[in-house]
C-alpha cells in the first residue's frame, strides 16, 4: 500500500524494509509494533505524509481489532548509492 500511494503521488521510493513484533509472544495479541525503513531521495516530511493514506489502503490494517495497541515507526533513509 505504501508503494501504491507513493507512486500515485510521484514520491520516489527506492526500497522498503520492515520488522513487526507482537506481545505477548503467546496467547491473544495485545500490542503490535511495526518499524519501517524507507529509502527515498524525497524529503522526509513528504515520505512521512504517505503513511496515513497507506494505512487506509492496507487490507491487513483493516482486519486488525480496533482495541489493539498498534504503533508504526517510520524511518526515512537517504537514497542508497550504487557502488
- Residue 1 DSSP one-character state: -
pLDDT for 82 beyond 60: no
- Residue 9 DSSP one-character state: T
- Give dist(CA 72, CA 57) in Å, integer: 15
pLDDT tens-digit readout, 22-36: 998 788 888 999 999
Closest CA to 1 of 36, 43, 26, 27: 36
Strand partners, 70: 32
pTM, two decimal places: 0.76
Mean pLDDT estimate for the chain: 88
Section 54-81 average pLDDT:
84
pLDDT for 11 beyond 90: yes
Sheet holding 15-23, edge to edge: 15-23, 31-39, 69-77
Amino acid at each position: 500500500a505504501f508503494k501504491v500511494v507513493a507512486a500515485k503521488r510521484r514520491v520516489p521510493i527506492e526500497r522498503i524494509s520492515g520488522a513487526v513484533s507482537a506481545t505477548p509472544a503467546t496467547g491473544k495479541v495485545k500490542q503490535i509494533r511495526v518499524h519501517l525503513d524507507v529509502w527515498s531521495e524525497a524529503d522526509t516530511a513528504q515520505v512521512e505524509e504517505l503513511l496515513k493514506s497507506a494505512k487506509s489502503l492496507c487490507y491487513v490494517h483493516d482486519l486488525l481489532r480496533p482495541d489493539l495497541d498498534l504503533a508504526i515507526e517510520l524511518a526515512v533513509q537517504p537514497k542508497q548509492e550504487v557502488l
